[in-house]
Amino acid sequence: MEAVASSFASRPLPLVFSSTRINNSQIQRRFFPTRRPLPNPHFTWKFRVSNTIRGYSVSPLWCAICNFSGRTKYLKAVKGAEGTFACCGIDIHQIISWREKFKHNISIIFVRLVTCIMLFISVYLIVSKTPSGALTEENLLFLEAWRTVDRAYYDKTFNGQSWFRYRENALRNEPMHTREETYMAIRKMLSTLDDPFTRFLEPEKFKSLRSGAQGALTGVGLSIGYPSMLNGSATGLVVISSSPGGPASKAGIVPGDIILAIDDTSTEDMDIYDAADRLQGAEGSLVKLAIRNGSEIRNLVLKREKVTLNPVKSRLCEITGSGIDGFKIGYIKLTSFNQNASGAVKDAIETLRNNNVKAFVLDLRNNSGGLFPEGIEIAKIWLEKGVIVYICDSRGIRDIYEADGSNTMAASEPLVVLVNKGTASASEILAGALKDNKRAVLYGEPTFGKGKIQSVFELSDGSGLAVTVARYETPAHTDINKVGIIPDHTLPTSFPVDEDGFCACLKDPASLCNLNGAELFAR
């Protein structure tokens, strides 16, 4: 019976045990009238359809075939506590197991077949969209950009849309006959993500971005952002920081100022990267800005210069008064995270240590960020061990950056970190790591609140994509996006903003700055 059952397991025979009593004689007369009666003629089977073994039907024909094949002496029917039936010496549970394996294999084959068919249709639709049946050079550039976002973008729902379907529709419907049309199609694709930090960079803009990361930029020396992240205003763009000694700083533009217009073009609906492109330009050229500070509006004309971004300035300062004369403090101002930042911080620490400093102040005010790896390396300088940052995507934590002590230079001296609303991005990662690991005390005001990380990818024609690859959480699992890092203590509005003012403040025994310093560093 079981030999037949295994071959018909996926489609049971229609003859099933019913509520009618069927004895061996009836089976003999029904199927094999010329053979001798089966053993034990008084044994009867009673099995209801509703009591089929684990939902499977068993036909008496299987046992009859077993008898016909000459295995009469093995033919038996046993009903156990769990309804186990055996026929021809084989357990019905084996039949069920064979059937389940057969169904599982059929399911796998079916899924793979459907996948192959869908893949074939997708490739056919892409290739057949052009008259020649092949992808053009412009199509390939678009696909390169699409693939970059597909692999790198942190939100795998892609703002709630089918990313594959968008690709197919774009290749079928978007004009891509010229390079400018292709660029337009890429921009349109990125706009569906509703992420202002994921953007397309034309070759010249991509080259300019890379040069800025390397430490030099031609423009007015401003870092800008969306005001809604800072003060709820929906008009214009906000100044995050101005490079010391740059054209904007010389003109008196300070963090928190609102840029209303650039060259008479309103910034009300302007993208920050479009605004950054307008602020940059040829060295010696002019740019007109409308700036609002509180209720005051100023119209300024600035000359673009090549701004060298020296990321670190340091100074040896001394606290006087309150019985701690001669207490030396190493002041380090970090203005950006370019490729020279971590090396410059190490050099500054070593120089200050040679002058017997007892404590450090790390000033991150108006530091708008920069290269993420540099922020991690600088955190390792100050931390002996501990989590620096958690990298997350839409599915949760995907990576953890930690300090292991291999790059530590200054893990024991007292450390104060100064922050303000111009502290953003990589500098927030650094400040959060030092605060949550109890390595530093933060003074100032809440930071900017940019809790996402972008990576830059170069395309084959020299253009590029800046793609949001992750969001991050501080070691205490705080998501700071649009909230910022809250400092431990506030600072007075008159607190010095540069190294000269800071050291002068500490030397004045009557200043509020000195009283804060005496309280902070006396321990």
- Cβ contact 441:520 at 8 Å: yes
**What's the rounded Cα separation, in Å, for the pair 216 and 53?**
79
Torsion angles phi and psi, residue 91, rounded to 5 = -75, 140
Quick one: which of 287, 285, 284 has its CA closest to 276?
Answer: 287
Run of H or E residues at 247:
helix 247-250
Q: Is 450 one of the annotated active-site residues of the chain? A: yes
Helices marked H in 264-382: 272-279, 341-353, 372-382
**What's the rounded Cα separation, in Å, for the pair 517 and 377?**
28
Write out the two tokens for 286: 């002019």
Q: What is the DSSP string of 165-204?
A: HHHHHHHHHS--SSHHHHHHHHHHHHHTT--TTSEEE-HH
- The one catalytic residue in 425, 427, 435, 463 is 425
**Bridge partner residues of 261 (DSSP):** 266, 290
Q: Is 472 helix (H, G, I), strand (E, B) or coil?
A: strand
**What's the rounded Cα separation, in Å, for the pair 43 and 293?**
102
Dihedral sign from CA coordinates of 22, 28, 33, 36: negative
How does 455-464 read in b/e, with b if 16+ C-beta sit within 10 Å?
eebebeeebb
Residue 235 CB: number of other CB atoms within 10 A?
Answer: 13
Cα 17 to the center of its chain, rounded Å:
60
Q: Which amino acid is at 271?
A: D
- The one catalytic residue in 333, 380, 435, 450 is 450
- The number of residues in the chain equals 523
Question: Looking at residue 36, what DSSP letter applies?
Answer: P
Q: Is 494 one of the annotated active-site residues of the chain? A: no
Q: Which residues are catalytic?
A: 425, 450
